[in-house]
Amino acid sequence: MADEPVKQPVPPALRISLTGVLLVTLLLLGVRYMNAANLYPGVVNGAEAGPALARERNDVREVEFTTADGVKLYGWVQGDDAAPRKIIQFMGNGEQVGPAAELYAASCKALNAQFLLFDYRGFGASEGKPSEPGLYADARAAHAFAVDQLKWRPESIILWGRSLGGGPAIKLAAELAENPPAALILEAPFTSVRDMASLRLAHLGKPEWLVYDLYDNLSRAPGLKLPVFHFHGDADEIIPYAQGEQLFAALPGPKQHLALPGAGHNDIWSDETRAALIRARINEFLGAHE
């Protein structure tokens, strides 16, 4: 019987290298998971809130549309079809279609507008999992649906981005630069997730090195030639007011900034007097650029 070949032991240096690669891979996977968990929190109301509320209202109709990468999104068209202003709303983080129905009903009336509202992938009643490229794909799909199915004229569409929604709204506006929308409305936007990480997670040393989804709004701002209305609470506890000011300063104009004294991030619309002021100023701004 032939002698069996002697198994050579794995060299210690190679074993250490392979272990190091495995540990780094696990670390990067963990960082990516923590990024997603922190940046895209779960939606409290779940997938049934939008459809349930739609059945209770006579000013909305439910819609569905599919992104270029095959994700089905849920949304509402809210307001009168005859309204001359057409607004695509990009909501904030953790928000979904339905719970703020009365807020949008009031905005439809005050602005003489119709809104397209939709859940980002992984939010509310939409499929998929959220990511920066994914939310950009969602924005493109919403715009394509508005133009192709709702028959909204591209040059008449207004983009409105709130908080996180400023990212996909700004990216879409930049992509449409050659045939721009009528206007862009920014509600409490940030400069970039990297800047937010540096501010909120400074105890980690260099947290910006661990960020995957960037939403670099500041770098895109100088290329936005369309009219921009910007408003932000100066007591915002989530997105610093200074970031909003920095982003606004980078916009080439025409533009207008509305500071909201004493307003935080999630209570901007809670005061009826302030809400009426915001809508009146937006209405005036849009009227001046129609």
3-state secondary structure the chain: CCCCCCCCCCCHHHHHHHHHHHHHHHHHHHHHHHHHHHHCCCCCCCCCHHHHHHCCCCCEEEEEEECCCCCEEEEEEECCCCCCEEEEEECCCCCCCCCCHHHHHHHHHHHCEEEEEECCCCCCCCCCCCCHHHHHHHHHHHHHHHHHCCCCCHHHEEEEEEHHHHHHHHHHHHHCCCCCCCEEEEECCCCCHHHHHHHHCHHHCCHHHHCCCCCCHHHHHHHCCCCEEEEEECCCCCCCHHHHHHHHHHCCCCEEEEEECCCCCCCCCCCHHHHHHHHHHHHHHHHHCC
Contact 190, 243 (CB under 8 A): yes
Q: Using an 8 Å Cβ cutoff, are 137 and 84 in contact?
A: no
**Domains (range + CATH), the chain:** 46-288 (3.40.50.1820)
Q: Using an 8 Å Cβ cutoff, are 261 and 153 in contact?
A: no
Residues forming beta bridges with residue 259, ordered by sequence position: 232
Tell me the per-residue pLDDT of 150-167, one tens digit each, with 9 for 90 and over. Answer: 999 999 999 999 999 999
What is the bridge-based pairing of β-strands 228-233 and 255-260?
A: parallel
The tokens describing 120, both together, are: 């980002």
Write down the pLDDT at residue 239: 95
**Are the beta carbons of 286 and 256 closer than 8 angstroms?**
no
Return the pLDDT at 37: 47
Mind listing the pLDDT tens digit for each residue in 118-135? 999 999 999 999 999 999
User: Distance (Å, rounded) from C-alpha 22 to C-alpha 236?
Assistant: 41
Active site residues: 163, 236, 265
pLDDT at 46: 80
**CA separation for the pair 50, 119 (Å, rounded):** 9
CA distances from 61 to 37, 141, 153, 192 (A): 32, 18, 20, 34
The least confident of 5-19, 66-80, 81-95, 184-198 is 5-19
Least confident of 85-94, 157-166, 209-218, 274-283: 209-218
What is the spatial distance between Cα 138 and Cα 129, in angstroms, rounded to a whole number?
11
Asked if pLDDT for residue 90 goes beyond 70, the answer is yes
Q: Which amino acid is at 205?
A: G
To the nearest whole percent, how much of the chain has pLDDT over 70? 80
